[in-house]
Amino acid sequence: MTLVDRVWIITLVIAMIPLSARAQSAEAEALFRDGRQLIKHGQLAAGCDKLAASDRLESSTGTLLNLGDCREKQGKLASAWGAFRRAEAMAKRAGNDERRRAEANRRAVALEPKLSTLRIDVAGRVDGIAVRRDDEVVDPAVWSTPVPVDPGTYTLRAEAPGYTPWQLRIAVGDSADHKIAQVPVLERAPAPQVTPTAPEPASLAPVAEPHATYEAVRRGRTWSATRGVAVGMGIAALGVAGVGVYFGLESNQLQDRANQRCPLAVCADPQGLRDNAQARSDATRADILYGAAGLSAAAAIVLWFVGAPADEAIVTPTVGDHQAGVSFAGRF
């Protein structure tokens, strides 16, 4: 692959970064709507999972309020408290959402006396030690600090290079159950046993054949008519993507306005409903334009490689009883 090929691919990948970012926003909105519908129909666990997935893709104050309410109904009070506190901070940063900030703070304060906590104390802090709670690494900054956790059984594991790992399972109950786990000093791992191996017998170097054929030497050009079409399609893909970004930003603004008017699942505000409908329409347009831009970019990449001009020469030495020379073959 030539340097020009690599530069062309990197340019197309960079140009398509806004597409994936906007696609995540559309996915987050779809997950949020599905989650609220599932909760309305009594499917609490599935609805909570949809809201959590939406929050991971693109967090918002409305999503966090709904997620906190759902987790509280599940009995996962620590997760609910964390969602409400995040919603409060997000609304506070926005500066124009005092109603939802106050609601998030009220719900979080009400949960605090009921929270269960888990404190992890580490006795010996050897070099490279890492402590995990299930699959999550516990930051050393929160060691010896009671951390709110949901009720359940957790697996604690401590490990460090050159030491024997330590593990413990601990159960945390609901309604203000405060547990402490003590990580002991890790023990040195035994040194591995090294088994000597006999040296392998020396092998003779292979004898070269009398007649050798050298590898073909490629001499590639860069541009062709097909590659010119590929460049045009790539520029067109950028233009279509730009229009898609416009509709995507417009959809985000309308959705934020709708969420401010309708923070909960049920809404009776006509303007909020209109903003929500227009946001969905703009999001659909954006997704269609992103799809078209993606297809055009993919076709441009294919044409770029297919249109590479072939220009190679094969050099082969010839040796006979009474003569020596070089033969050439190629495609130009």
Domain count, the chain: 1
pLDDT digits (tens, 9 = 90+) for 151-205: 999 999 999 999 999 999 999 998 889 999 999 999 898 887 777 776 776 665 5
* 191 within some domain: no
Asked whether residue 88 carries a pLDDT value surpassing 90, the answer given is yes
Is 331 within the bounds of a domain? no
Average pLDDT value for the chain = 80
pLDDT confidence tier of residue 15, bands split at 50, 70 and 90 = very low
Q: Is the residue at 189 inside a domain?
A: no
Owning domain of residue 145: 115-183
Distance of CA 258 to the CA centre of its chain: 28
- Decide: pTM greater than 0.75: no
User: Dihedral of the CA atoms 303, 306, 312, 314 (nearest 10)?
Assistant: 160
Q: 125 pLDDT exceeds 60?
A: yes
Residue/partner pairs of 104-110 with CB below 8 Å, 24 or more apart: 104/61, 104/64, 104/65, 104/68, 107/68, 107/69, 107/72, 107/80, 108/68, 108/81, 108/84
138 has pLDDT over 50: yes
**What crossing angle do the helices spanning 270-306 and 3-15 adopt, rounded to 10°?**
170
What pLDDT was estimated at residue 112? 94
C-alpha 57/C-alpha 286 separation (Å) is: 17
Neighbours of 216 (CB within 10 A): 12
Summarised one tens digit per residue, pLDDT across range 292-319 is 888 888 887 877 777 776 544 444 555 5
Is 153 within a domain?
yes
Is 13 a member of any domain?
Answer: no
Instruction: Report yes or no on 132 lying in a domain.
Output: yes
Could you tell me the CATH number of the domain that includes residue 148? Answer: 2.60.40
Q: Is residue 63 part of a domain?
A: no
Question: Considering the domain boundaries, does residue 152 fall inside one?
Answer: yes
Residue 266 backbone dihedrals phi, psi, to 5 degrees: -100, 130
